[in-house]
A = this chain, B = another copy of it.
Amino acid sequence: MTQKTNLSAGRGYLAIPGPSVIPDAVLQAMHRAAPNIYAGELPDMMPGIVTDLRRVARTKHDVVIYIGNGHAAWEAALANVIGEGDRVLVPATGSFGRGWGDMAAGLGALVETLDFGKSSAMDMARIGEALKADTAHTIKAILAVHVDTSSSVRNDIAALRTVMDEAAHPALLMVDCIASLGCDVFEMDDWGVDVMVTACQKGLMVPPGMSFVFFNEKAAEVRRHMPRVSCYWDWTPRAAPELFYQYWNGTAPTHHVYGLRAALDMIHAEGMEAVWRRHDVLAHAIWAACHAWGSAGSLAFNVADPDSRSRAVTSLRLQSPNATALRDWTENQLGLTLGIGLGMAAPGDPAWHGFFRLGHMGHVNGHMIMGMLGGIDAGLKALDISHGKGALEAASEVIATGQVSPDTSP
């Protein structure tokens, strides 16, 4: 019995950067009969959900929920403060930054993009210059992505606020935390974020279908001066509903509400700081392995600077077509699905097969990450892709110590 065999029959592991692994408790909470939407448990749980969402975003300000995905939240946030002819600045560090800008253009905004490539964080100096140049303060908002899911670049939002303050620029700071919330440290109020958008299917561990817009009083004031906001996107009644249906502008996404309640319970039982630390250690374990593999082979981080990497997603390069070959092998042979590269090359381009991504957001723990890395290590060996040794032990060392000091960083 030395015959080659398939080793995939077991639990599937979807290690893409979202949708992330859904906890059993969330699926359980969603497996229920239709609830009454006029009275009882469902409406009664909303105030607590609002409070607990604020705790995740670290804000005392408002939050509204849209039935929708991240793109819905993008448009919803914009629709409340950006109108035809308004000017927005988009410091892009990946596909999703540019995507939000496109959404603004779709609403008639004048979009100015500062492109920082796909492998580096925003250059705050350049942003500062752009702001200072806007002496007339015609830039109404900056659309910044905290973590760009495509590139895995993490931007320093606190530094962005500092730059804006230094330029004494009144633009709204609007931040996309779709990939990062609940994984990378984020402090809405402390960092001076005016509007933040996110969605439920990554760090919040709920099946896709809900997205969120947080906004502070400064943003609310801008909203009040908008000539018109469409009924569905208008955040005003959603933020201060008198009746349950106003949270949703219509029928509530009943089962998602229960799922979200379960997920928030898990997050706050663990504690926000503990959740962040967990993601931090696990990301460092992944990086330690990648560093080792990359020390003697073609595997490389898309983001060379560890300070600009996300704790939710890691974008990697691997000599085309090896990235695709590796993804195919781990999925077919081991039941482990890795993420495709996104936005680094066009789908038809041979270079497309030289990128892949690891999702490590939400419901992930030590043995899962070691299993993901072990699967990749096996794949590199199986496909004879040259790589450095010691990757798994480097990762298990980080897991063992829980230390994320500089020397464990690649």
A290 proximity list for chain B (CB < 8 A): none
Q: Does A31 contact B (CB under 8 A)?
A: yes
Contact with B along A335-358 (1 / 0, CB 8 A): 111011000000100000000000
Q: Name A102's closest neighbour in chain B (CB-CB).
A: B231
Tell me if A56 is interfacial: C-beta within 8 Å of chain B.
Answer: no
Q: Is the CB of B405 within 8 A of A254?
A: no
Known contacts A7-B278, A35-B14; is-contact A367 B336 (Cβ 8 Å): yes
Write out the residue numbers on chain B whose beta carbons fall within 8 Å of the beta carbon of A397. Answer: 378, 381
Asked if B231 and A71 make an inter-chain contact with CB atoms under 8 angstroms apart, the answer reads yes
**Which residues, 176 to 224 on A, are CB-close (under 8 Å) to B?**
185, 199, 201, 207-209
* A228: Cβ under 8 A from any B Cβ: yes
Are A70 and B31 within 8 A (Cβ)?
A: no
- Tell whether, in the assembled complex, residue A402 and residue B7 are in contact, meaning their CB atoms are under 8 Å apart: yes
* A403 to B381 alpha-carbon distance, docked (Å): 13
Q: A38-B16, A207-B254, A396-B378 are in contact. Are A72 and B79 (CB under 8 A)?
A: no
- CB-based nearest B residue for A248: B69
A8 within 8 A of B: yes
Does A366 have its Cβ within 8 Å of any Cβ on chain B?
Answer: yes
Give 1 or 0 for each of A11-38: 1 = CB within 8 Å of chain B CB: 1111010111111100110111111111
The answer to whether the Cβ of A392 comes within 8 Å of any Cβ in the partner chain is yes
Q: Which residues of B contact A72 (CB under 8 A)?
A: 67-68, 232, 249-250
CB distance from A382 to the nearest CB of B (A): 4
Task: Give the residue of B19, B281, B392 whose beta carbon is less than 8 angstroms from that of A374.
Answer: B392
**Which of B4, B30, B230 meets A75, CB within 8 Å?**
B230
Is A108 engaged at the interface, CB distance under 8 Å to the other chain? Answer: yes
Q: Does A44 have its Cβ within 8 Å of any Cβ on chain B? A: no
Given known contacts A10-B364, A367-B334, A232 and B396 CB-to-CB distance under 8 angstroms: no
Let me know if A9 and B106 touch, CB within 8 A: no
A233 to B71, CA, bound (A): 10
Max chain B C-beta neighbours (<10 A), residue from A70, A251, A347: A251
Comparing A119-127, A134-142, A164-172, A268-276, the segment that makes contact with chain B is A268-276
Which B residues touch A366, using CB under 8 A?
A: 7-8, 10, 330, 333-336, 374-375, 378
**Set B33, B208, B399: member contacting A14, Cβ < 8 A:** B33
Cβ B207 vs Cβ A367 within 8 A = no
User: Which residue of B9, B34, B108, B233 contacts A278 across the interface (Cβ within 8 Å)?
Assistant: B9
* Contact A18 B333, beta carbon cutoff 8 Å: no
* Residue in B282, B367, B392, B400 whose beta carbon sits within 8 Å of that of A393 in the complex: B392
Minimum CB distance partner of A399 in chain B: B378
Closest CB of chain B to A326's CB: distance in Å?
12
**Is A28 a contact of B28 with CB atoms below 8 Å?**
yes
Contacts of A11 in B (CB 8 A): 11, 21, 23-24, 363, 365, 368
Q: Please, could you name 14 A-B residue pairs with CB atoms under 8 Å apart, sorted by A?
A: A3-B402, A4-B403, A5-B277, A7-B282, A7-B365, A9-B365, A10-B368, A21-B34, A34-B201, A38-B340, A72-B250, A106-B229, A208-B254, A392-B396
